[in-house]
Amino acid sequence: MERPHQEVTAPTISPGTVAFASAIGTTIEWYDFFLYGVVTPLVLNKLFFPNFDAVVGTLLAYTTFFVGFISRPIGGIIFGHFGDRIGRKTVLILTLIIMGTATFLIGLLPTYSSIGIWAPILLLLLRVFQGIGIGGEWGGAVLMAVEHSPAGRRGFYGSWPQIGVPAGLLLSAGAVYVLSYLSDADFLAWGWRIAFLISAVLVVVGLYIRLKVMETPAFNRIQQEDKIVAVPVVDLFKTHGKNTLLGLGARYIEGVTFNTFGVFIIGYLTGALHLSRQTALAGVMISSAIMIVMLPIYGNLSDRYGRRRLYAFGALGIGVLTFPAFWLMQTQSPILVWIAIAIPFAFVYPAVYGPQAALFSELFDTRVRYTGTSFVYQFSGIFASGLTPIIATALLPLDDNKPWLICLYVLVVSIISALSVYAMMESNKRDMAVDNQAAKAA
């Protein structure tokens, strides 16, 4: 007698477990990426660009930092394509390996004094691979969390992979902070390398965790319904052009804020205000630790009150608060400097970054969602993130080393982002499995 057919179902996994796994994975990858930014004004400008004065050397080092942001859209398109074609999980494992290997090799690089011009060239090449790896990372990590989330909770669970950014910055700044207690000679000779080399251990941990996470239900559904498109990036621009443009504008303030208060500020405090490395790094670490708590709070609020309202509030708040923040830093009091960083960066910035994963994911249908979120986040990184330390460093001497032109730049950017979010449709209640563009066509 023939047995009745029984459908085999995949084992279920809780949204909280997926969100936590995404947070651990993004923490490791962002540690790798931000470590470069933290070390740039302290070490890389001296060891890889030593034949220039301090400002020019720092600008050149920040240029290699910027190159990582140029290569991120390349990684976003490549891995977004395969993420929408073969699935989120496989791509996330590959990006982690690429990122970790590049970071580990930076820790082994000979300096300019050893191999001359080849030192900055190799540094540049490895930074490109870092950018390619992180370019495919963010979109996949947030989609794993968002697409596994129940209705009405995407903002909360989507904020968990966002925790990887402040956690990665906290770890990278913390590693350099501890190593800064070495003598300057030892820190420059070998101490900074330790922070890059321990990336190998973190990657092993990340791979172990990611291998245990299942593919998302949304992707499995379009796979079963044979709705996978041949070239997702082409379909993206044909069907989601407006949302892509608005996403780029919304992302502007987020990238500028993070790279002003998380990257540029270290060089500014140690160079222009002559504070110690430990003081500058401690300010970033304190803000990062607070941010880890604030991100899921704002993510949850976006589920209750809508993403657009919260995002616009955060964007404009950052623009206004940047002025008193930099004014307070002029006191050179460590405690006041830490407060000045924390108010816009730890308490207001999460109102933008917490809901961002769900906001961007909801802009796109499943068949192009990995490509769309990756393109918006990574392409905007060129002007929003990568250029920010360069622009800020260039603006500073134009105002006699005063920060007010930098503050004005942040304010203008905040207005652009708020207007971009205002032009979006509220989407916190949309059904992620529904193809909105197909429904409109019908």
Judging by beta carbons within 10 Å of its beta carbon (0-12, 13-18, 19+), is residue 14 exposed, middle or buried? Answer: exposed
Instruction: Look at residue 43 in the predicted model and tell me its pLDDT.
Output: 80
Residue 96 CA to residue 136 CA, distance in Å, equals: 9
Write the DSSP assignment of 55-96 as a string of letters. Answer: HHHHHHHHHHHHHHHHHHHHHHHHHHHHHHHT-HHHHHHHHH
Average pLDDT over residues 64-87: 83
Instruction: Look at residue 300 in the predicted model and tell me its pLDDT.
Output: 95
Going by pLDDT thresholds of 50, 70 and 90, the confidence category of residue 53 is low
Instruction: Look at residue 28 in the predicted model and tell me its pLDDT.
Output: 82
CB-CB contact of 140 with 88 (8 Å): yes
H-type helices in 180-240, by residue range? Answer: 184-186, 192-197, 199-210, 217-224, 232-239
SS3 category, 6: coil
Residue 418 CA to residue 424 CA, distance in Å, equals: 10
Instruction: Look at residue 405 in the predicted model and tell me its pLDDT.
Output: 96
Instruction: Look at residue 274 in the predicted model and tell me its pLDDT.
Output: 92
Q: Which of 13-17, 151-155, 246-250 has the highest mean pLDDT?
A: 246-250
CB-CB contact of 109 with 39 (8 Å): no
Going by pLDDT thresholds of 50, 70 and 90, the confidence category of residue 88 is confident
Q: Rounded to 10 degrees, what is the CA torsion of 136, 142, 145, 148?
A: -80
Judging by beta carbons within 10 Å of its beta carbon (0-12, 13-18, 19+), is residue 80 exposed, middle or buried? Answer: buried
CATH number for region 15-221+231-432:
1.20.1250.20
pLDDT digits (tens, 9 = 90+) for 104-126: 998 999 988 888 888 888 888 88
* C-alpha to C-alpha distances, 361 to 95, 160, 364, nearest whole angstrom: 19, 14, 6
CB-CB contact of 376 with 244 (8 Å): yes
Judging by beta carbons within 10 Å of its beta carbon (0-12, 13-18, 19+), is residue 130 exposed, middle or buried? Answer: buried
Handedness of CA 313, 416, 66, 376 (dihedral sign): positive
pLDDT digits (tens, 9 = 90+) for 359-410: 999 999 988 999 999 999 989 988 898 789 889 989 998 888 899 999 999 9
Instruction: Look at residue 433 in the predicted model and tell me its pLDDT.
Output: 66
Residue 104 CA to residue 100 CA, distance in Å, equals: 6
Instruction: Look at residue 439 in the predicted model and tell me its pLDDT.
Output: 52
Instruction: Look at residue 156 in the predicted model and tell me its pLDDT.
Output: 95
Residue 410 CA to residue 258 CA, distance in Å, equals: 11
Instruction: Look at residue 171 in the predicted model and tell me its pLDDT.
Output: 87
The single-letter DSSP state of residue 367 is G
Instruction: Look at residue 373 in the predicted model and tell me its pLDDT.
Output: 94
The average confidence (pLDDT) of the chain is 86
pLDDT digits (tens, 9 = 90+) for 91-103: 888 888 888 888 8
What is the residue extent of each domain of the chain? 15-221+231-432
Residue 77 has pLDDT above 50, yes or no: yes
Express as a percent the part of the chain with pLDDT over 70.
Answer: 91
Residue 212 has pLDDT above 80, yes or no: no
Instruction: Look at residue 441 in the predicted model and tell me its pLDDT.
Output: 52
pLDDT digits (tens, 9 = 90+) for 328-367: 999 999 999 999 999 999 999 999 999 999 999 999 998 8
Residue 151 has pLDDT above 70, yes or no: yes
Instruction: Give the global pTM.
Output: 0.83
Place of tokens 């995949």: 10
